[in-house]
Amino acid sequence: MAFTIALAQLHAQVGDIDGNVTRIRTAWQEAAAAGADLVVTTELALTGYPPEDLLLKPEFVAANLAAVDRLAASGPPGCTLLLGYVGAGDGQATDEVHWDVALATRDLTNSVAVLRDGEVVATYDKLRLPNYGVFDEARYFTPRDAPCVVDVAGVAVGVTVCEDLWTASGPVQAAVAAGAEVVASLNASPYHRGKRADREAWVRHHARRGQVPVLYCNVVGGQDEVVFDGDSMVADAQGAVIARGRQFSPDLILVELATGPAATARPAADWQEEPRLDAVGEVWHALRRGTRDYCLRNGFARAIVALSGGIDSAVVAALAADALGGDRLVTLALPSPYSSPGSVTDAAALAAAIGSEHHVLDISGPIAAVGEMLGALVVTGFDRADGQQPGVAYENLQSRLRGLAVMALSNETGAIVLTTGNKSEYAVGYATLYGDMSGGFAPIKDVPKLLVYELARWRNRTGEVIPQETITKAPSAELRPGQLDQDSLPSYEVLDQLVTGYVEQDKGIAGLVADGHDEQVVRRVVQLIDRAEYKRRQAAPGPKITARAFGRDRRVPITSGWRG
């Protein structure tokens, strides 16, 4: 039997129930007009994902339930919708093993409503509740171990949700055992590098094992520290992926299925797949989507970036221009007596290339004034008659004066300050609290230093935006004469490997040494990473693009006696 399905890859927003209703209804109507028998939405499409402690508000849950009824009553006739929503159960957990898993006293479920012809004809409650990385589902939801298979135009469709797919057997196979000829999976799967290969492997596995087509629909958008990339897919009963959704953009993917012993699947006649992004390009688009959604959904139409003339601020400014538009960006060069002339001219060249409003504010006077105020309390200036050499306090003073300037402009204009630190620097504390860490969002917070350079080169492929001198010169904070990053840090080739091993892979000192790194360097870097946790707790949020980001993805104590 042949029938047509549509994957509604939505740009849902957390908490915007009315807006999400409109997005869902529009996609449902468009799919029905194109002849779809079934429309698959995304996980918790009504509430947005993750709703977090909004789920503890009874009014929020009630509004979500009322929206289910509104959608059911207003949907196009003859077309079935699989709708992700928050269910309010009957107070009975699946079994005694799960009794203490959920925090909420109310029995909430991560659910799917099957809507057709004005009614809710069936529901499914997610069984596998992830509670690792950025996920906290066991804090809110109760699992259910009951498959859902519903008739859609004579085809038995099994319903699952996200993590249900990420296991060799489990809910997908339970749906097949219950008679499903097609399995739909509603997802809110955050992006990180390499994630697509993992998703596709699980989709292929279940399609081949169950000998059924698998419909994988994923949400799009930035939500605080996570980015959802869409990239939905349909696999036929042999496990071949025959259609995909756009990356980082909403989409409606139409596919024609034939079920039974000769089950096949093919894209609808008018569907055309867009070229896939390469490994660096998808990171750029993830950062762009995360930055755009964070700014606009929080009411910031304009942004401010302090340009040092270095690679990090240049990449952030180019990202911001792509995300918001260069005409909505203000860039500032804030030279000190230790800034090289090239840094100022490179900043100006970048500003001209992206079309930002650009200002140069020399901080030499404020540095001298603050030095005079501090007197003998802090050693300032490198040309002192007494020969004393200033330390890190004087370097940080310069950074904090820059932070003061950008935050003053933010207060005056209402624009958001985008900070410019990368993951390598945040890891070892090579960033100044209340200085260059000042701001509302950190676009490259999870981007290792070497990847920052790759992003710059990728962005320049279609025409130079980031000056070549910015890419080729040795990295320096320029807070003292002749300063280079490598004066106080290992090479970034080494540092990035150590950060990946220690932060993302949980390797200890012995494991990193076994990888071939010098033990003295390892111990020093590990100590720097551990000691900088208090700084990172005070940092602005930024989009996750690696397997484990700082923040909610990695939760370690600030105060700890562990040293290995």
Residues acting as catalytic residues: 43, 126, 162
For residue 262, how many other CB atoms are within 10 A of its CB? 7
Token pair listed for 232: 């939905």
Q: DSSP 3-state assignment of 173?
A: helix
> For residues 219 and 11, what is the distance between their CA atoms, to the nearest angstrom?
6
Sign of CA dihedral 345, 347, 352, 353: positive
Residues in contact with 529: Cβ distance below 8 Å, sequence separation at least 6, in sequence order:
427, 428, 429, 499, 502, 503
φ/ψ of residue 246, rounded to 5: -65, 160
> For residues 529 and 264, what is the distance between their CA atoms, to the nearest angstrom?
52
Side-chain half-sphere CA neighbours of 308 within 13 A: 23
CB 236 within 8 A of CB 264: yes
φ/ψ of residue 365, rounded to 5: -65, -50
Residues in contact with 161: Cβ distance below 8 Å, sequence separation at least 6, in sequence order:
43, 84, 110, 111, 112, 124, 126, 185, 186, 187
Which element (helix H / strand E) includes 255?
Answer: strand 251-258
Q: DSSP 3-state assignment of 155?
A: strand
